[in-house]
Amino acid sequence: MGPEWDSVAVKAAENTLEIPLSSLPSCPELSWMTGGDLYHYVTWRLGRESQNSRSSYRTHTIRLILRTPPSPGDSNVVTRTTTDSDHLAKLFEISAGTDVILRSSDTVDFFVSERFLRLALPAFASIISSGSVGENGVKVIAVPETSHTLRHLLLILYNCIDTPGVNDGELFFEMGHTIQKYSLQFIESKLRLTLRSSPIMTKEPLRAFSIATLFGWTEEAKSAAVNTLGTALESLRYCSELERIKGADFFRLLEHRFKCVEVVGELITSNECTSPGDLIGNSGTSYPLSSSIKAKIQGILKQCPQGNAIRESTFLNIRVQRKTNDWSFEKSYKTLADVIEEAVIKVTHLISYLLIITDKWVWVYCTV
């Protein structure tokens, strides 16, 4: 929709301010927008709530969000990279053992063996049969992939190069879509391993979540979602990969966070934890937590519903040390943090959604 809808969007956004962010209902229209669109709305919303202001500046800000595409300075923009594989292009020039031409979408020809194609790419069987014979008598098969993607796919199949890394930008996504399209599970497994072992799983979990969600990788998406809990919502960095997923996907991530906050909150106020109410010292002395410290714990977990938030809280460490003069409180905090971690891991709200979209995603690809 064009700029003429901006005023409607601004008005609608303003109307949501009366509803707590954690209580906003889902709607089918969330699938019409990108995860990046919803991220910017949430950023605007958190800014409005922290400023407690309805100024024209804030309205102007959301107008900019609506009209201006994400700037490179605010994102981990992925770019296409070149590798040494570009120098291996001669592998696919005409030779005695080649009898098929794969023609990319940008009309670059790759000479390969039909026997090799049938073995390496069983999904190509019907495509090979429908190929046309060129002027030189060699069968020509036109494929929708670009030469850049096709070259890398063939080089991986020829064991000349490894799968691209997450930071290889556009190539990682092109390869991901291509290998799923042609049902190359063994290469997809390598891509999933690449993501799981990448530093972005912990350092940029929102980015990892977006990548995993895009490809329907449920376990990786779940792990990344849990990792996002270690960062306050307002501190989660924008990533360009959000533009590749739907607003509904990002909304479910938010729902998962709020559900974890709810579960952890109930845990702290219940008697199911071993140490939310007391800290036990070396001497066996019980140190009841004051209401102010309990409130601080709840505040910390509301921002970051994860065990590490307790372990890494400088405020809690210093406060309890001064109160008890007993350093063994650390054991009690670790116990509390472990219980919180277990509770968060058991939250299956997001998993159910990911399984649904994965089934739909696989069905779409199977019917293409």
Does some domain include residue 62? no
Residue 205 maps to a domain: no
Evaluate whether residue 279 is within a structural domain: no
Cβ burial of 287 (10 Å; 0-12, 13-18, 19+) is: middle
Domain that holds residue 171: 91-197
User: Is there a single domain that holds both residue 260 and residue 331?
Assistant: yes
Phi-psi region of 341 (alpha: psi -120 to 50; beta: other; left: phi over 0): alpha
**Is there a domain that residue 132 lies in?**
yes
Residue 190: CB atoms within 10 Å: 17
pLDDT band at residue 59 under the 50/70/90 scheme: low
- Calculate the alpha carbon distances from 242 to 40, 188, 206, 283, 349 in Å: 10, 21, 8, 52, 20
Please provide residue 4's backbone torsions phi and psi, each rounded to the nearest 5 degrees.
Answer: -65, -15
Q: Are residues 182 and 107 in the same domain?
A: yes
Indicate whether 143 and 230 sit together in one domain: no
Work out the average pLDDT over 203-219: 94
| 309-367 per-position pLDDT tens digit | 888 876 666 655 555 554 455 666 777 788 888 888 888 767 666 665 554 444 333 33
| Partners of residue 280 on adjacent β-strands | 286
- Express as a percent the part of the chain with pLDDT over 90: 36
Residue appearing with tokens 């277990």: 342
In DSSP terms, 132 is beta-bridged to 140
> CA nearest 337: which of 315, 307, 314, 309?
307
- Tally the domains of the chain: 2
In a domain, 20, yes or no: no
Residues 6+ apart with CB under 8 A from 308: 230, 337
- pTM here is 0.79
CATH code of 192's domain = 3.30.710.10
Helices (H) and strands (E) in the chain, counts: 17, 6
List pLDDT tens digits, range 89-113. 577 877 767 888 899 999 999 988 8
Alpha carbon distances (Å) from 277 to 6, 154, 272, 294: 50, 61, 10, 8
Same domain assignment for residues 258 and 328? yes
Same domain, 121 and 190: yes
